[in-house]
Amino acid sequence: MAETFDATISKPDAKVMTFKGADAVSTLEKMRVDSGAKIAHGLWLRVPGGTYMLGVVTDKEHETEALKSKDRFFNSLTFE
């Protein structure tokens, strides 16, 4: 996962941010699977000791509903 983080955050159009003091990058991926179109919103972050990825994957038609709780889910992460 560390290599994916490095490759993603170094792209010119990367959505780079600081998340709870950690370097982070936001991703959006559209996929097609047997059951239909899916949307994946990801938050990749690097903290001392590791690289983490939080994600929300939903059917395309439920994206608006899923996005209502995405930030609450991402912000539920705490570092000790």
Q: What is the rounded CA–CA span in Å between residue 64 and residue 26? A: 17
Q: To which residue do tokens 């290599």 refer?
A: 3
pLDDT digits (tens, 9 = 90+) for 8-55: 999 999 999 999 999 999 999 998 888 788 999 999 999 888 899 999
Q: What is the rounded CA–CA span in Å between residue 74 and residue 43? A: 8
H or E segment to which residue 55 belongs = strand 50-59
pLDDT digits (tens, 9 = 90+) for 47-62: 888 899 999 999 999 9
| Tokens read off for 43 | 């938050």
Q: What is the rounded CA–CA span in Å between residue 46 and residue 77? A: 13
Quick one: how far is CA 32 from the chain centroid?
18
